[in-house]
C-alpha cells in the first residue's frame, strides 16, 4: 500500500527547497494509523463514560475488568492485564476498588493455591445486567454510521492488524 505522503508530488515538495541541507521530516498525525486508532479509542471511551460512568461510578479500567468477568470465567488479575493490555498497577487498582464495592471477590484457584481468581458477586452481576445493555445501545448508535459490510470489513481489518502486531517485536 502506498501511503499518501509517499507520492512523487510529496517527495518533490520536500526536494523543492534546496536551501535546506536535510529534508524536513514531518508526520501528519491525521494520516498516521497508530494515532488515529488511539484517538478513536480514547474518544469512544470518553463518550461511553460520559453516558454511564458517573451513574455506575466506574472508570474505564473497572469496566474492562468487569466486562471480562461477565463472560462467567474466573480470571486472575494477571490474565485480565494480558487480555486488556492494561498495566498491572492499573488492574490492581481496579480490582481493589471493585472489591471494596463488593462487585467482585477473590477466591483461591483450585489448580494453583497461590493464584487468586476474580469472580463477579451478585451485586456485580446486577450492575452488569444494567450496564451491558447500555453499552450495546451505545455501540449500536456508533455503528449507525456504517453499513453491515463496512462493519464486517472493519472487524476483519482489525483482526488482520492484530495478527500483524503479534508478529512485530515489542508488541506483547
Look at the block and give the residue holding cell 474466573: 74
- Name which of 12-21, 91-100, 123-132, 145-154 the model is least confident about: 12-21
What was the pLDDT predicted at 6? Answer: 59
Return the residue matching grid coordinates 486508532.
37
107's grid cell: 477466591
Q: d(Cα 45, Cα 57) in Å, to the nearest integer?
A: 14
32-167 placed in CATH 3.30.70.100? no
* Bridge partner residues of 75 (DSSP): 118
Q: What is the torsion angle, in degrees rounded to the nearest 10, for the CA atoms of residue 142, residue 55, residue 82 and residue 95?
A: 180
Cβ-contact 127, 103 below 8 angstroms: yes
Residue 4: which pLDDT band, with cuts at 50, 70 and 90?
A: low
The three cell numbers of residue 45 are 471511551
Q: Span 58-73, mean pLDDT? A: 94
Longest dimension (CA), the chain: 71
Summarize pLDDT for 8-22 with one digit per residue, the tens.
555 555 555 545 577
How far is 8 from 2, CA to CA, in rounded Å? 11
Residue 36: partners with Cβ closer than 8 Å, 6 or more residues away: 29, 30
Amino acid at each position: 500500500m502506498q501511503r499518501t505522503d509517499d507520492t512523487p508530488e510529496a517527495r518533490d515538495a520536500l526536494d523543492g527547497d534546496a536551501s535546506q541541507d536535510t529534508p524536513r521530516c514531518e508526520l501528519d498525525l491525521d494520516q498516521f494509523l497508530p494515532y488515529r486508532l488511539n484517538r478513536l479509542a480514547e474518544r469512544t471511551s470518553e463518550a461511553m463514560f460520559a453516558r454511564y460512568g458517573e451513574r455506575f461510578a466506574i472508570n474505564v479500567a473497572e469496566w474492562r475488568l468487569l466486562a471480562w468477568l461477565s463472560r462467567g470465567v474466573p480470571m486472575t488479575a494477571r490474565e485480565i492485564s494480558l487480555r486488556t493490555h492494561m498495566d498491572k498497577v492499573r488492574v490492581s487498582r481496579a480490582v481493589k476498588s471493585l472489591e471494596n464495592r463488593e462487585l467482585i471477590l477473590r477466591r483461591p484457584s483450585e489448580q494453583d493455591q497461590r493464584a487468586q481468581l476474580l469472580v463477579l458477586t451478585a451485586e456485580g452481576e446486577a450492575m452488569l445486567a444494567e450496564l451491558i445493555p447500555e453499552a450495546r445501545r451505545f455501540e449500536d448508535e456508533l455503528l449507525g454510521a456504517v453499513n453491515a459490510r463496512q462493519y464486517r470489513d472493519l472487524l476483519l481489518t482489525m483482526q488482520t492488524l492484530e495478527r500483524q502486531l503479534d508478529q512485530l517485536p515489542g508488541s506483547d
